Amino acid sequence: MSLASSLGSIRTVELVDVEVVYDGSVRALKVEELVFEPGFHIVMGPNGSGKTTLLDVVAGLVLPSRGKVVLNNLVNIAGLGEDARASIRRDHYSYLLQEDVFIESLSVWDNIAMPFIIHGIAVPEERILELAETLGIRGLLKRKPSKLSGGERRKASIVRALSRAFTASVVLLDEPTSFLDKDSSTRLVEVLESVLRGKIVIIATHDEKLAEIGDRIVRLRGGVVESVTS
């Protein structure tokens, strides 16, 4: 049994004495102790406060300069090699990046389906169509990403991440409402609440509307946790 399989569903992610330092002196993140359990955790703070770095550390994409990132009180993902971390991300994580990254030569549908095909997972066609319909882009799935507006590209990225999120334990969303108008943002909040309940959901955002669905608000400033409120 692989390490990723042995974890089962991830129920806790704990950061202990974590510090991320770039170029030997620039501190991007410092967390003494922070535990994420199932629920909505909204991470807020000004630009450069460490929100994206926190998500990258939780995902094992950025290794801390010191400290541990412990899953289920068992596995320190920060102490694993890249292959093991990638395996855990594949089996347990869904991550909506801040930037919308597509293979521009493929259709929107193929971009959404590609992660499933690469990992040998059946493409959840009905789920994708339902999410695309809800977010108003079902009629755009055959288009190339370059033919979409900024808001439409964001919605396509969200459909891709949420389709994966149905089978993930940990869902990371970096500025999900960027490029969305007010009505689309409201609809997205409703979708997140209906689709992601019971998972560990960490959302980095400036959007106060998203804070309304938070079970906990984590505020960062200068890479340091300024406050945690429930």
Whole-structure pTM value: 0.94
- Please report the DSSP string for 140-198 in residue order: GTTS-GGGS-HHHHHHHHHHHHHHHHTT-SEEEEESTTTT--HHHHHHHHHHHHHHHTT
Please report the pLDDT score of residue 210 as a whole number: 86
pLDDT tens sequence across 79-115: 999 999 999 999 999 999 999 999 999 999 999 999 8
**Closest CA relative to residue 3, chosen from 84, 94, 90:** 84
Instruction: Please check whether residue 21 is in contact with residue 65, taking contact to mean a CB–CB distance below 8 angstroms.
Output: yes
Counting the structural domains of the chain, the total is 1
Q: Which of 23-27, 55-59, 196-200 has the lowest mean pLDDT?
A: 23-27
- Under the banding of pLDDT at 50, 70 and 90, the label for residue 4 is low
Interatomic CA distance for residues 191 and 196, integer angstroms: 8
Please report the pLDDT score of residue 127 as a whole number: 94
Q: What is the CATH number of the domain that holds 159?
A: 3.40.50.300
Q: Taking all residues of the chain, what is their mean pLDDT, rounded to a whole number?
A: 93
Q: Is the pLDDT of residue 72 over 70?
A: yes
Q: What percentage of the chain carries pLDDT values higher than 90?
A: 83
Q: Is the pLDDT of residue 1 over 80?
A: no
Range of the domain at 108: 3-229
